[in-house]
Chains A and B, each alone.
Chain A
């Protein structure tokens, strides 16, 4: 079972808010607040300093991208709180805005992923611990989208596959088991990716995020 994290939920649809609260509570997470709009979210984050805030993109008053704006201000004002934005639609540009300049935990998932409870809770844990989680759909779009061909041209097909899992926030061990190769080989791949993308070997965790950003911004 994943470690217990302090969680704030911001979701305007009551049925989803309550369902998520109950499910996460049953799975041993500490839901300290469940709110319905961006202002209440910012108050709850200020009051409770949660490990992670799960935020719906569309919230009142205009139901466009209030959730994203709120997530960006949480990330700016409360670096200790990871932000996991979820949405009915995947938008690569929105992911790029969310991830740009990220240093702490950040995630962007399709709302459908709540149907896979354990995976969802894993994602919450990764974001709470400062990792990056991107929806597989986003990663698929970004890896296949030719506009990144220039930046990623130097990568081998296997390195590209590794990078896509990296971008989803998987650990080396998880990547190794996904491809049934040894963690040592994964480490080599990751080092090669970092080198080819021009990321200096200063902070290993940060470089994983930066590699993801490379995806989005190249």
Chain B
């Protein structure tokens, strides 16, 4: 974790920020360097000097692990400080090793670290320890040096207390800034999660809507197929029957007139009129049949296989029909498949120059697959508004798929995938 004090960024601070370990080593070096003069002035007894150097180095070294173990490092430095307060203020030879040193600045550094990286109760405890230490140090120090009251104690108190408080406040403000940044991150994450939840809810709602629409479409397509079949049946049972009966009566009347004796001018005229009416009735009957077949192919009532076989017989080239389905699709789907096959066979006859064709129908769990192939010249393309585009639209109304494979020179394969139900 980096210290978060936001110094103005320079090359030096940038480097320090990027290399916290080295920065701490430099800090240790600086502490030791400033302690150097003290060491030089100190006691002449070599053993005490070595002990003093050791204590100084130990104090300065507590800075090294401060980032990883702030409490332990602070504890170590505070313990040394406490020993100094307890023993270092006397003028005996042993105390010389524990006299206060510049390296004691490691203690406020560690307090700063504690305040920056540990919860406030911990850092306040550290602050209290430091302040108590300062008070004890002044109390121990002033009698020795004859500074019982007045300016010297006040300066020492202000100096040590101010330094301690400053270190804590700096660290605490860093912690505050860090916490704020942390909360911002947490808030941002929360906001993002909420947005994701919203998005998921919208997706779920859209999926639900899509399913509802699909159900509605299935109903609409099925109802429309049923309605078309009923219209065809109404035509079949109504208009077509009446017209056929009318044509029969007209035909009978015409034949009667032809066989009637004694042709008169009137009789001739009547015969012409009835002949015209008869012809009209017969032609209308044929037109009505084509119309009804376009509305609903009655052949489908006997199943797709029978209907496709009969359809295959209406074109002038051999068409192999194979229908292998396990489940009968809905009437609407069968009708789409039938109309597609009819249109494709008509195309093959008109445009492909093929000498034979084949219709294959199979099904699986996903739905029905119809492939119409021919050995003609190929090059069939989907042009906007063309017959194939119309078929594709028809197939797409039930989420089906129409694919064309028709390289120049042939052969051509048109693949139609349809769901089992609209």
| Cross-interface CB contact of B302 among A23, A64, A147, A149, cutoff 8 Å | A64
Stretch from B20-28, B211-219, B232-240 forming part of the interface with A: B232-240
Given contacts A15-B241, A88-B292, A114 and B248 within 8 Å (CB-CB)? yes
Given contacts A64-B302, A117-B252, A92 and B309 within 8 Å (CB-CB)? yes
Q: Is the CB of A145 within 8 A of B244?
A: no
26 pairs across A/B with beta carbons < 8 Å? A19-B245, A23-B248, A26-B252, A58-B236, A65-B301, A65-B302, A88-B240, A89-B293, A91-B302, A91-B306, A91-B310, A93-B299, A94-B302, A111-B240, A112-B244, A112-B285, A114-B244, A114-B251, A115-B244, A117-B251, A145-B313, A145-B315, A145-B316, A145-B319, A146-B319, A148-B318
Query: Nearest residue in A to B238 (C-beta to C-beta)?
Result: A13
B218-249 interface code vs A (CB 8 A; 1 in, 0 out): 00000000000000010011001110110111
Known: A89-B298, A146-B355. 17 other contacts (CB 8 A): A15-B241, A16-B241, A23-B249, A26-B252, A58-B236, A65-B302, A88-B289, A92-B310, A93-B302, A94-B310, A112-B286, A114-B245, A141-B314, A145-B312, A145-B319, A147-B319, A147-B320
B317 part of interface (Cβ distance < 8 Å): yes
Q: Is the CB of A141 within 8 A of B242?
A: no
Residues of B within 8 A of A94 (CB): 302, 306, 310
Q: Is the CB of A146 within 8 A of B318?
A: yes
Distance A91 CA – B356 CA, assembled complex (angstroms): 21
Q: Is the CB of A13 within 8 A of B241?
A: yes
- Could you tell me which residues of chain A, from 182 to 207, have a CB within 8 Å of some CB in chain B? none
Query: Nearest residue in B to A58 (C-beta to C-beta)?
Result: B236
Given contacts A111-B244, A117-B252, A142-B313, A147 and B318 within 8 Å (CB-CB)? yes
Residues of A within 8 A of B320 (CB): 147
B255 part of interface (Cβ distance < 8 Å): yes
Residues of A within 8 A of B278 (CB): 115
Query: Nearest residue in A to B319 (C-beta to C-beta)?
Result: A147
Residues of B within 8 A of A72 (CB): none
Query: Nearest residue in B to A62 (C-beta to C-beta)?
Result: B301
Residues of B within 8 A of A116 (CB): 251
B282 part of interface (Cβ distance < 8 Å): yes
B114 part of interface (Cβ distance < 8 Å): no
Residues of B within 8 A of A27 (CB): 252
Residues of A within 8 A of B313 (CB): 92-93, 141-142, 145, 147
Query: Nearest residue in A to B259 (C-beta to C-beta)?
Result: A118
Residues of B within 8 A of A150 (CB): 318
Given contacts A58-B236, A91-B299, A93-B313, A118 and B356 within 8 Å (CB-CB)? no
Distance A185 CA – B306 CA, assembled complex (angstroms): 38
Q: Is the CB of A19 within 8 A of B285?
A: no
A100 part of interface (Cβ distance < 8 Å): no
A63 part of interface (Cβ distance < 8 Å): yes
Q: Is the CB of B292 within 8 A of A64?
A: no
Chain B binding surface SS class? helix
Distance A94 CA – B301 CA, assembled complex (angstroms): 12
Distance A15 CA – B247 CA, assembled complex (angstroms): 12
Max count, chain A CB within 10 A of own CB: residue among B278, B286, B298: B298
| Cross-interface CB contact of A149 among B237, B248, B318, cutoff 8 Å | B318
Given contacts A145-B316, A146-B317, A15 and B245 within 8 Å (CB-CB)? yes
Distance A144 CA – B315 CA, assembled complex (angstroms): 7
Chain A binding surface SS class? helix
Residues of B within 8 A of A145 (CB): 312-316, 318-319
Query: Nearest residue in A to B321 (C-beta to C-beta)?
Result: A147
- Chain B residues packing against A (C-beta within 8 Å): 233, 236-237, 240-242, 244-245, 247-252, 255, 278, 281-282, 285-286, 289, 292-293, 298-299, 301-302, 306, 309-310, 312-320, 355-356
- Could you tell me which residues of chain A, from 65 to 118, have a CB within 8 Å of some CB in chain B? 65, 88-89, 91-94, 111-112, 114-118
Query: Nearest residue in B to A68 (C-beta to C-beta)?
Result: B302
A20 part of interface (Cβ distance < 8 Å): yes
Distance A147 CA – B362 CA, assembled complex (angstroms): 22
Closest chain-B Cβ to A180's Cβ sits at a distance in Å of 23
Distance A48 CA – B128 CA, assembled complex (angstroms): 125
Residues of A within 8 A of B298 (CB): 58, 88-89
| Cross-interface CB contact of A117 among B242, B248, B289, B302, cutoff 8 Å | B248
Distance A116 CA – B278 CA, assembled complex (angstroms): 9
A117-152 interface code vs B (CB 8 A; 1 in, 0 out): 110000000000000000000000110111111100
Q: Is the CB of B316 within 8 A of A146?
A: yes
Residues of A within 8 A of B245 (CB): 15-16, 19-20, 114
Closest chain-A Cβ to B42's Cβ sits at a distance in Å of 119
Residues of B within 8 A of A148 (CB): 318
Distance A150 CA – B320 CA, assembled complex (angstroms): 13
Query: Nearest residue in B to A112 (C-beta to C-beta)?
Result: B285
Residues of A within 8 A of B299 (CB): 89, 91, 93
Residues of A within 8 A of B306 (CB): 91, 93-94
Residues of B within 8 A of A112 (CB): 244, 247, 282, 285-286, 289
Distance A50 CA – B295 CA, assembled complex (angstroms): 37
Query: Nearest residue in A to B357 (C-beta to C-beta)?
Result: A146
Distance A27 CA – B312 CA, assembled complex (angstroms): 39
Closest chain-A Cβ to B24's Cβ sits at a distance in Å of 94
Q: Is the CB of A19 within 8 A of B248?
A: yes
Q: Is the CB of A115 within 8 A of B251?
A: yes
Distance A147 CA – B322 CA, assembled complex (angstroms): 14
Distance A118 CA – B253 CA, assembled complex (angstroms): 12
